A and B are shown apart, each in its own frame.
Chain A
């Protein structure tokens, strides 16, 4: 197998879902079984991506393969210079892993949906949309330049809009679709500004070329500030897509879409695209930009976690949990824990997709009941769903032996090390606090849904374990939540192939003086062979990480156990009544239950503000602009009237005067015209006599 074959594989993988989308969309109405084709396409894509991943991590472990072609050649543009836009694919360690994750989850969601969506009137179109989404996501993952990423970024936005609003007959669903799209646009504006800044500076969109330029010391806008601001601009795109604070409001609403869609888009892949983008540009982030990113991430981890504590909608709890976990990843990137962030992206994708599909299974069994207060006791009715959900919850809580423990512990250790090195202690503080809250609300969810006595007897009686088609994806995903796939040592991720081999530290291109102190590459004196990634962390960082690792492990396990215990005490054994506690902390409870009033706040400020502004402009339009128009009309009218009067009286008067003068003269002369020859003769003679007298020369 050689590099060009691998690239061909990537091209096929990219376009397979598009083929599926087109065929399914076009034949959807005629061929009712066309969804099988879409599923088949995804299966082929999955197999190819597995082959790709294996080939990448074995034979081509240290190379990043890229291939490009010229898309637009504008030639020599005055002032700017040569403009040629290239499109192309890039296969490196992260894109190969990511494309596998995307296709695996996409395929499982397709498979799950066969039963979940059964009976829907737009059954085939649903699969077509899933195909479009997978195509867009594959584009984001495989692209080698920012422009193509931006294009697919928007395509993901469109397909997400289509899928959230899939049941558009429901007002709330179509509203949620719009909300997601519009909120995303705000972030995308920043992304666009960022990539235009880069293009203006370097005349290229290609990651590799931009990175090379920056490591040679050419900064955007020729200033260090330019590099920082570019990083933050591009990060804005990630804030939108990954639902980070303050643009996180769309994700909980997006739960209006079908549940498998939530699993695919709003848990595992699309929201991961933002993190993936930051991962891609990690090498050019300055210390200032990273601090901002870390802060946003920390806020996004903390705020939704507090909201998730009190929500009663099974999908909303998961949605806020997703925002919180994405915040974790962003925070990890901000504090420089690059590998852990990407690792958490993958592990989270598996167990969160599993939980979402599990919630889909529960919702399906409960006949579209989503309120956990009406559930309970489902453990006996749905043992497999319960088991897989429990495994995922344990994983997300960060209990050892699970994948979640490995990645989460890594992130916490990363923030901890960051705290010791820079003194920003609130990152680890928030990290550990959120870890506890995560464990608490996840087990609250499990206890209320699966344990105890059923609170809605009637629905409970009808509940049943889902079919094989719906259970199989759950099992696969929960199996992937165990540690064994990533490392042989359940306590130390660094021992595993994933860490030592698959995910590599990226080259840093930011000038040394703009990095964090611990990222100075004081080890780069070791000459590395070309194509191999440079070591990015200083020894002090590695030392700090190793130093805190033990206590981080201890603390994170303690936090998780504490959270789980608290959940059991409050909801399983009812030692502390949740209601009384909520009553005692009423303001806090209300604040959390109402999601920190973000929706209301945004509605007051932005929606009402926009409406107010529109009113003001409408008033201006009506009064001032229309006034000017009306005024000019009135002036014209008056002017026309005066002209009309002038016409009627002066001009017409002159004409009439001429006419009446002629008539008068005519009247006089007509008197002479008697018709009598004798009169004429008299006149002739008379005139003759006068003429004779006048001309007499005698």
Chain B
């Protein structure tokens, strides 16, 4: 059996769904960030897969590289925010940190 684009897409879809699931279900902000990483990686798989099976040259791979860099930067900033949130509220539970709502 040959590995086709569909298989990649199925993998990335599963990954995306897992990411979503992680974001939605986890209370811990760090876990939510990990869900976001999963979603980003699902999109990376899509980019690379479409680049491999389409006639785009290396554009997909390049964008995937950018996304990885961005994800790293995002993780750094987000973790810094989480640390500050923790400093302020003494927890990182996203359900409880809703003081902007009032």
Against B, the Cβ 8 Å flags (1 = close, 0 = not) of A182-205 are: 000000000000000000000000
- Complex interface: chain A residues within 8 A of B94 (CB): 676-678
Interface residues of A in 674-698 (CB under 8 A from B): 674-678, 681-682, 685
Interchain CB contact under 8 A, B100 and A678: no
Interchain CB contact under 8 A, B24 and A678: yes
- Complex interface: chain B residues within 8 A of A675 (CB): 98, 100-101
Q: How close is A689's CB to chain B, nearest CB, in angstroms? A: 11
- Complex interface: chain B residues within 8 A of A682 (CB): 24
Most buried by A among B20, B25, B94, B95: B95
Roughly how many angstroms separate A677 CA and B23 CA in the complex, as a whole number? 9
- Complex interface: chain A residues within 8 A of B25 (CB): 678
Roughly how many angstroms separate A154 CA and B25 CA in the complex, as a whole number? 115
Interchain CB contact under 8 A, A676 and B98: yes
Interface residues of B in 16-71 (CB under 8 A from A): 20, 23-25, 32
Interface residues of B in 80-102 (CB under 8 A from A): 94-95, 98, 100-101
Partner of A681, one of B20, B100, B101: B20
Roughly how many angstroms separate A677 CA and B94 CA in the complex, as a whole number? 8
- Complex interface: chain A residues within 8 A of B95 (CB): 676, 678
Using CB atoms, name the residue of chain B closest to A677: B94
Interchain CB contact under 8 A, A681 and B23: yes
Roughly how many angstroms separate A352 CA and B25 CA in the complex, as a whole number? 136
Roughly how many angstroms separate A674 CA and B20 CA in the complex, as a whole number? 19
Roughly how many angstroms separate A678 CA and B94 CA in the complex, as a whole number? 9
Roughly how many angstroms separate A676 CA and B32 CA in the complex, as a whole number? 13
Against B, the Cβ 8 Å flags (1 = close, 0 = not) of A285-312 are: 0000000000000000000000000000
Interface residues of A in 645-698 (CB under 8 A from B): 673-678, 681-682, 685
Number of interface residues of B (CB under 8 A): 10
Roughly how many angstroms separate A674 CA and B32 CA in the complex, as a whole number? 18
Using CB atoms, name the residue of chain A closest to B96: A676
Q: How close is A674's CB to chain B, nearest CB, in angstroms? A: 8
Interface residues of A in 383-424 (CB under 8 A from B): none
- Complex interface: chain B residues within 8 A of A681 (CB): 20, 23-24
- Complex interface: chain A residues within 8 A of B20 (CB): 681, 685
- Complex interface: chain A residues within 8 A of B101 (CB): 673-675
- Complex interface: chain A residues within 8 A of B100 (CB): 675
Using CB atoms, name the residue of chain A closest to B98: A675
Roughly how many angstroms separate A674 CA and B95 CA in the complex, as a whole number? 10
Using CB atoms, name the residue of chain A closest to B101: A675
Roughly how many angstroms separate A681 CA and B101 CA in the complex, as a whole number? 16
- Complex interface: chain B residues within 8 A of A685 (CB): 20
- Complex interface: chain A residues within 8 A of B32 (CB): 678
- Complex interface: chain B residues within 8 A of A678 (CB): 23-25, 32, 94-95
Most buried by A among B20, B24, B25, B100: B24
Roughly how many angstroms separate A677 CA and B32 CA in the complex, as a whole number? 11
Using CB atoms, name the residue of chain B closest to A673: B101
Using CB atoms, name the residue of chain A closest to B25: A678
Roughly how many angstroms separate A682 CA and B32 CA in the complex, as a whole number? 14
Roughly how many angstroms separate A351 CA and B25 CA in the complex, as a whole number? 139
Q: How close is B82's CB to chain A, nearest CB, in angstroms? A: 14
Using CB atoms, name the residue of chain B closest to A679: B24
Q: How close is A42's CB to chain B, nearest CB, in angstroms? A: 107
- Complex interface: chain B residues within 8 A of A674 (CB): 101
Q: How close is A683's CB to chain B, nearest CB, in angstroms? A: 11
Against B, the Cβ 8 Å flags (1 = close, 0 = not) of A201-218 are: 000000000000000000
Roughly how many angstroms separate A3 CA and B24 CA in the complex, as a whole number? 133
Q: How close is B92's CB to chain A, nearest CB, in angstroms? A: 13
Using CB atoms, name the residue of chain B closest to A675: B101
Q: How close is B78's CB to chain A, nearest CB, in angstroms? A: 13
Q: How close is A73's CB to chain B, nearest CB, in angstroms? A: 93
Roughly how many angstroms separate A676 CA and B94 CA in the complex, as a whole number? 8
Roughly how many angstroms separate A681 CA and B19 CA in the complex, as a whole number? 12
Using CB atoms, name the residue of chain A closest to B27: A678
Roughly how many angstroms separate A675 CA and B25 CA in the complex, as a whole number? 16
- Complex interface: chain B residues within 8 A of A673 (CB): 101
- Complex interface: chain A residues within 8 A of B24 (CB): 678, 681-682
- Complex interface: chain B residues within 8 A of A677 (CB): 94
Roughly how many angstroms separate A308 CA and B98 CA in the complex, as a whole number? 121
- Complex interface: chain B residues within 8 A of A676 (CB): 94-95, 98
Most buried by B among A674, A675, A685: A675
Against B, the Cβ 8 Å flags (1 = close, 0 = not) of A321-335 are: 000000000000000
Roughly how many angstroms separate A682 CA and B98 CA in the complex, as a whole number? 17
Roughly how many angstroms separate A678 CA and B31 CA in the complex, as a whole number? 13
Roughly how many angstroms separate A681 CA and B95 CA in the complex, as a whole number? 13
Using CB atoms, name the residue of chain B closest to A678: B24
Roughly how many angstroms separate A675 CA and B95 CA in the complex, as a whole number? 9
Using CB atoms, name the residue of chain B closest to A685: B20
Q: How close is A673's CB to chain B, nearest CB, in angstroms? A: 8
Q: How close is B22's CB to chain A, nearest CB, in angstroms? A: 10
Q: How close is A680's CB to chain B, nearest CB, in angstroms? A: 10
Most buried by B among A674, A677, A685: A677
Roughly how many angstroms separate A682 CA and B20 CA in the complex, as a whole number? 9
Q: How close is A682's CB to chain B, nearest CB, in angstroms? A: 6
Against B, the Cβ 8 Å flags (1 = close, 0 = not) of A483-498 are: 0000000000000000
Roughly how many angstroms separate A674 CA and B97 CA in the complex, as a whole number? 12
Q: How close is A87's CB to chain B, nearest CB, in angstroms? A: 99
Roughly how many angstroms separate A676 CA and B23 CA in the complex, as a whole number? 12
Using CB atoms, name the residue of chain A closest to B23: A681
Using CB atoms, name the residue of chain A closest to B26: A678
Roughly how many angstroms separate A674 CA and B98 CA in the complex, as a whole number? 9
Roughly how many angstroms separate A677 CA and B95 CA in the complex, as a whole number? 8
Q: How close is B51's CB to chain A, nearest CB, in angstroms? A: 22
Roughly how many angstroms separate A673 CA and B100 CA in the complex, as a whole number? 12
Roughly how many angstroms separate A675 CA and B94 CA in the complex, as a whole number? 10
Roughly how many angstroms separate A678 CA and B101 CA in the complex, as a whole number? 14
Q: How close is B23's CB to chain A, nearest CB, in angstroms? A: 6
Roughly how many angstroms separate A137 CA and B94 CA in the complex, as a whole number? 118
Q: How close is B91's CB to chain A, nearest CB, in angstroms? A: 15
Q: How close is B37's CB to chain A, nearest CB, in angstroms? A: 15
Q: How close is A441's CB to chain B, nearest CB, in angstroms? A: 118
Q: How close is B16's CB to chain A, nearest CB, in angstroms? A: 10
Roughly how many angstroms separate A675 CA and B101 CA in the complex, as a whole number? 5
Interface residues of A in 330-373 (CB under 8 A from B): none
Using CB atoms, name the residue of chain A closest to B95: A676
- Complex interface: chain A residues within 8 A of B23 (CB): 678, 681
Roughly how many angstroms separate A676 CA and B27 CA in the complex, as a whole number? 11
Roughly how many angstroms separate A681 CA and B21 CA in the complex, as a whole number? 10
Against A, the Cβ 8 Å flags (1 = close, 0 = not) of B1-25 are: 0000000000000000000100111
Roughly how many angstroms separate A676 CA and B29 CA in the complex, as a whole number? 12
Roughly how many angstroms separate A675 CA and B98 CA in the complex, as a whole number? 6
Q: How close is A222's CB to chain B, nearest CB, in angstroms? A: 105
Roughly how many angstroms separate A678 CA and B32 CA in the complex, as a whole number? 9
Q: How close is A671's CB to chain B, nearest CB, in angstroms? A: 13
Task: Give 7 CB contacts A-B under 8 Å.
Answer: A674-B101, A676-B94, A678-B23, A678-B25, A678-B94, A678-B95, A682-B24
The 9 closest A-B pairs by CB, nearest first: A675-B101, A675-B98, A678-B24, A682-B24, A681-B24, A681-B23, A676-B95, A685-B20, A677-B94
| Contacts A673-B101, A682-B24 supplied; 4 other A-B pairs, CB < 8 Å | A675-B98, A675-B101, A678-B25, A681-B24
